[in-house]
Amino acid sequence: HRFGLYDAVLIKDNHIAVAGGIKSAVNSIRKQISHTVKIEVEVENLSQLQEALEMKVDIIMLDNMDLNTIKKAVKIVKGKALIEASGGITLEKVREIAQTGVALISIGSLTHSVKSLDISMEIKNVSRIS
Number of domains in the chain: 1
Separation CA 80–CA 58 (nearest Å): 8
pLDDT in tens, 57-68: 999 999 999 999
Q: Is 79 within the bounds of a domain?
A: yes
Q: Is 130 within the bounds of a domain?
A: no
Q: How far is CA 34 from the centre of its chain?
A: 20
Q: Is 78 within the bounds of a domain?
A: yes
Separation CA 78–CA 98 (nearest Å): 16
Separation CA 124–CA 106 (nearest Å): 44
Per-residue pLDDT, averaged over 14-43, amounts to 96
List the CATH number of the domain containing 105: 3.20.20.70
Q: Is 126 within the bounds of a domain?
A: no
Q: Is 62 within the bounds of a domain?
A: yes
Q: Is 77 within the bounds of a domain?
A: yes
Which range marks the domain in which residue 47 is found?
A: 8-112
pLDDT confidence of residue 37? 94
pLDDT in tens, 82-129: 999 999 898 899 999 999 999 999 987 766 666 778 888 888 877 777
If pLDDT is split at 50, 70 and 90, which confidence band does 1 have?
low
Q: Is 92 within the bounds of a domain?
A: yes
pTM for this one? Answer: 0.83
